[in-house]
Amino acid sequence: MLRNRLKYALTYREVVAIVMQRLISIDGKVRTDKCYPAGFMDVISIAKTNENFRLLYDNKGRFTLHNISAEEAKYKLCKVRSAQFGDKGVPHITTFDGRTIRYPDPLIKANDTVKINLETGKVVEFIKFDIGNIVMVTGGRNRGRIGVIQHREKHKGSFDIIHVTDSTGQQFATRMGNVFTVGQGTKPWITLPRGKGIKLSIVEEAKKRTQALKAAA
């Protein structure tokens, strides 16, 4: 990431030198492991440059480092994997980034999204996985696309299918496991990367490139 995306290092040895100075934080914790696996929605902070990034998908389904403000870097969104009772009847939820949170709001269920304060590790708010909420697709051929849930097809013994409409009116469908709720209604709780999750066709991309070349000439 430091070498290939941010271009802050030219070689592997330079990457090691940077992380060993304890300048890189992921989700509010300093990381010195040069191979630490950052994932979707993780917040990466660089102390020396006062920069903050959120790891998201672009509209082509590739990982992108989206620049965010210091205020937005204080929280992250996590998708709930399960909500259950543990030993001695203690309720807890587990998230897809490996967190276990005890005594959550009893209304939080699997596939909902929780907003976590990175300083305290506590749930601040949550979004129900429901029709009408804005989502980002995190898997499959539509990965990186953003839209609003229109309909949910339930299939017993198989995968539930979610139908989504993006801001241009295009409709697509994907498995429920590929969908991550990022906002209440049509308002996202995070800033979105360039492209706003709208997938262009090959012809539309060609036209866009031609217009950019004409504008630059």
Q: What is the set of domains in the chain, with CATH numbers? A: 12-70 (3.10.290.10), 75-127 (2.40.50.740), 134-188 (2.30.30.30)
68 to each of 9, 26, 46, 215, how far by Cα in Å? 21, 14, 12, 28
Q: Which is it for strands 75-85 and 24-26: parallel, antiparallel or unpaired?
A: unpaired
> 29: which strand partners?
26
Categorise residue 61: left if φ over 0, alpha if ψ from -120 to 50, beta otherwise. Answer: left
* DSSP SS3 for 209: helix
Strand order in the sheet with 24-26: 29-30, 24-26, 43-46, 51-57, 63-68
Per-residue pLDDT of the chain (217 residues; tens, 9 = 90+): 888 888 888 999 999 999 999 999 999 999 999 888 888 999 999 988 999 999 999 888 889 999 999 999 999 999 999 999 988 889 999 999 889 999 988 899 999 999 999 999 899 999 999 999 999 999 999 999 999 999 999 888 888 999 999 888 889 999 999 999 999 988 999 998 887 778 777 787 788 888 888 888 7
Model confidence pTM above 0.95: no
H/E element, 53: strand 51-57
Contact criterion met (CB below 8 Å) for 127 and 111? no
DSSP state of 18: H
Computed from CA positions of residues 93, 96, 100, 101, in that sequence, does the dihedral angle turn out positive or negative?
negative
Residue 197 contacts residue 146 (beta carbons within 8 Å): yes
First to last CA, the chain: 33
* Half-sphere exposure at residue 111, Cβ-oriented, CA atoms within 13 angstroms: 14
Calpha distance 39→36 (Å, rounded): 10
Burial readout 51-83 (b: 16 or more C-beta within 10 A, e: otherwise): bbbbbbbebebeebbbebeeebbbbbbbbbbeb
CA distance 185 to 133: 4
pLDDT attached to residue 167: 87
